[in-house]
Amino acid sequence: MPDQRLNYVSGEWTASNTDETFETTDPANPDEVIATYPQSDAEDTERAIEAANEASDEWAETPGPERGRILTAAGSLLDQRTDELTELLVREEGKTWSEAGGEVQRAIDIFHYFGSKASDLGGTVKSSSARDTNLYTTVEPLGVAGLITPWNYPIAIPAWKIAPALAAGNTVVIKPATLAPGVVHEMAEALDEAGLPDGVLNVVTGPGSEVGSTIAGHEAVDAVSFTGSTAVGNTVYDTATEDGKRVQLEMGGKNPTIVSDSADVEQAADIVANGAFGVTGQACTAASRAIVHEDVYDEFVDAVVDRAAAIDHGHGLDDPGMGPHVSESELESTLEYVEIAQDEGATLEYGGSELDREGYYVEPAVFSDVDTEMRLAQEEVFGPVLAVIPVSDFDEAIYVANDVDYGLSASVVTDDHTEANRFVEEIEAGVVKINEKTTGLELHVPFGGMKDSSSETYREQGDAGLDFYTISKTVYDNY
């Protein structure tokens, strides 16, 4: 029988005011219902925001080391439940066991990291130009943080928003994605068990039109952090900034990997294939464009096709090379882009077909002869579809890489140090990698994009993650 989940408000698990529910299903076995969740509305969301607001002062006054101990304890509890969390993530989102297990471990590491950082929160002391004066800064939490998170990294992204918000002394209301909210509920249970006071964290499930828009527009919410599509993110930004909220958006990507004529082609094919086809291409940092020097173009296309053809498919619990898309609509979107690319004249070198089996499976697709004006070269696909674009030199490669609306992640494969340095300086992306895939992030350094990939306000993760959730005061103490 499917799990019956509830909202988490003011330290209690509670049903929705609507008495309506929605189901999550296994994308590898769509007829299998995993759990039911409250189909919450604006009234439910307002109740959660009120709970967070009531708990705000007490949590802000809790010493940083004490907040940190709760986060660390929650991380340890999650660590004890790694296999359980991994299985739930696989069954709701569709990742392979290895991919899901890596994401769960990342969430655990994030809680331990920000648990330790909570003890270091404070200001700085400066030397005053006046006599008999102490000059220093302090940092304070903003208040109530509203978090709206996506389905593709359903535990890692909520963790890297929740943990710094709580470490800094904010209370939280989070709306997890409806396709895979289960691991956020498990996170809330771990924090509750670790001793988090009532009302400090609140979880409300339901549609963005009700829950998300209420979070973004409520006067008691002081900061909004959103990860998702650019179209929805821009709406969230407009709503949240109407009354001056602090806003952080991380959105889509059209991420390039440049392959230089100096690159080892086999190594380049490994790097691009891992970045393009990992997690079924359902990552905002996935490589969707390989921009390849014409001298090695044909060799590279053959090599990356070999990688795509070698990928096996199956249920994530069996840990295959690739799991299914998260939903039928995501699968249909990928298939539509495959058709669009062929209609526009790109050559389908491999894949792109729906697999004849239960579940939302698609073959990874490799396209050659892609022109930079084609939709495949400009629009985010969010599936395992790679456009291979030929260029005549490194100048053209940089131009093509930057000639999109997005600027999230980018990489280059080269043995030329001058090219690597130029790439770092000239590429328009917030995450820049040399001889690495576009996916994969360290948790203690800033993460965020440029252009339509981000609001370009505040970065996430590391110290930058704490910066978003705090505000500073400068103190002049004339004694």
Write out the E strands in 328-467. Answer: 347-350, 365-368, 385-391, 406-407, 409-413, 431-434, 450-451
Rounded distance between C-alpha atoms, residue 344 and residue 218, angstroms: 45
Rounded distance between C-alpha atoms, residue 450 and residue 428, angstroms: 7
Q: Could you tell me whether strands 246-250 and 223-227 are parallel, antiparallel, or unpaired per DSSP bridges? A: parallel
Rounded distance between C-alpha atoms, residue 409 and residue 432, angstroms: 6
Angle between helices 82-93 and 97-117 (to 10 degrees): 120
Q: Pull the structure tokens for residue 31.
A: 């007829």
Contact 99, 278 (CB under 8 A): yes
**Phi and psi at residue 395, in whole multiples of 5°?**
-60, -45
Active site residues: 250
Helices (H), 62-209: 64-80, 82-93, 97-117, 156-167, 182-194
23-to-211, 228, 431 alpha-carbon distances in Å: 17, 21, 36
Q: How many residues does the chain have?
A: 479
| Cβ burial, residue 242 (10 Å; 0-12/13-18/19+) | exposed
Q: Which helix (H) or strand (E) holds 288?
A: strand 287-293
Rounded distance between C-alpha atoms, residue 325 and residue 143, angstroms: 37
**Cβ neighbours around 399 below 10 Å, total:** 14
Q: How many helices and strands (H and E) does the chain possess?
A: 15, 22
Contact 154, 99 (CB under 8 A): no
18-to-21, 36, 59, 178 alpha-carbon distances in Å: 8, 14, 30, 16
Nearest to 407 by CA among 442, 452, 474, 467: 452
The Cα angle at residue 158 between residues 45 and 379, in degrees rounded to 5: 100
CA 285 to chain centre: 9
Nearest to 220 by CA among 51, 473, 465: 51
